[in-house]
Amino acid sequence: MPFLLVFASTNRRCIINRMPLTNCGVTIVGRRTLLAILAALGCTTASVQAKIVSNLGVAIQSCVVNEKNGATNGINIVFYNAHVSAATEVDFTVEYGGHTYTLSDKGNFTRGAPINHNLTNALVGAAWNGPRTNLCTPRRVLLANGKTIQ
């Protein structure tokens, strides 16, 4: 059965001296194993990315609907501001349960700092359909330098 190279070493010594692959930390797996790994990664990545869309210089890491007593209670969102200027407000569009909501987060969001907030200015008291949104994406970003991006 033929084997496929999956993970290769970037060790320059191995490349320059043309050392055998086994001496360079190379992992070799069979074709079936490779296909199983790729299929699992593809399914997982596609399902997560379909729900969260980074946009407007805001990178969303997670967007989860909170639950309280069988009803929605806003969202927990983790995001980063990629702008040089700090963001002072980020509005998010969230689709959930057949409805579209706008949730706003205000503060001083410096570049690259992880923001992990629970937002409850919308999507509160609706029927609970699980933690996943149909869509979660930035809608508008206000920057400290006065610029608005939408």
Cβ proximity of 54 and 138 under 8 Å: yes
CA distance 91 to 75: 13
Q: What is the pTM of this model?
A: 0.67
pLDDT in tens, the chain (150 residues): 443 333 344 444 444 444 454 554 545 445 555 444 444 444 333 333 336 889 999 999 999 999 999 999 999 999 999 999 999 999 999 999 999 999 999 999 999 999 999 999 999 999 999 999 999 999 999 999 999 999
**Which residue from 147, 77, 83, 80 is spatially nearest to 114, judged by alpha carbons?**
80
Q: Name 95's Cβ contacts closer than 8 Å, sequence gap at least 6.
A: 101, 133, 134, 135, 136
What's the pLDDT score for residue 53? 87
What's the pLDDT score for residue 89? 98
What's the pLDDT score for residue 21? 47
What's the pLDDT score for residue 41? 42
CA distance 35 to 39: 6
What's the pLDDT score for residue 39? 45
What's the pLDDT score for residue 32? 55
Cα dihedral sign, 81-84-89-90: negative
The tokens describing 101, both together, are 């909501």
Amino acid letter, residue 35: L
What's the pLDDT score for residue 30? 54
Domain ranges of the chain: 3-49, 58-149
Q: E-assigned strands of the chain?
A: 3-7, 27-30, 58-68, 71-81, 87-96, 99-109, 115-127, 135-143, 148-149
